[in-house]
Amino acid sequence: MNADRTPDRAERLVIMNGSRLHERHLGGKWNVMDSEPQGMNPKGIYRLDTARDADTKTKGEYRGAVLHVDKANVYQLGNDSQVVRHDRDRFKETPNVGEGARIGYDSGRAVMLNRSAEPSPNRGSPAPSAPARPRPDRER
């Protein structure tokens, strides 16, 4: 008999067969807490309780799909296919589940690098026009 060594209150996402199941381990078995369509999430089984905390002090970035968002955290499938946990309070705008995200940190704040935070200099202004060509004089 194989003893289950998964600790109580462990959490995971099971993404397959068109579904995204949020499960919690209680009393020796996995219980479904929430079920949603798979959406754009990659198939797999991802442990949330063993996710690596994002390093908020480096200038690097985390690239990958946002797997799950709860009241406290944003979970992302990181650069090395490991789940990364971001503190939700560090975001000005919370990423969407299934979104392919590039998340970096600036002075401890989480920044969505693939979203434009500020309008580009040319946004909303007309494109520069070509100089008017002189019209040939017409003699009558």
Which residue would you say has higher pLDDT here, 124 or 10? 10
Spatial distance between the Cα atoms of 46 and 31, rounded to a whole number of angstroms: 15
| Claim: this prediction has a pTM higher than 0.75 | yes
Query: What is the model's pLDDT at position 60?
Result: 84
Condensed to tens digits (0 to 9), the pLDDT of residues 91-103 reads 999 999 999 999 9
Give the containing element (helix H, strand E) for 45: strand 44-47
- Name residues whose C-beta falls within 8 Å of residue 78's C-beta, 6 or more positions apart in sequence: 52, 62, 63, 64, 84
Give residue-wise pLDDT tens across range 15-38.
999 999 999 999 999 999 999 999
pLDDT of the residue at 59: 79
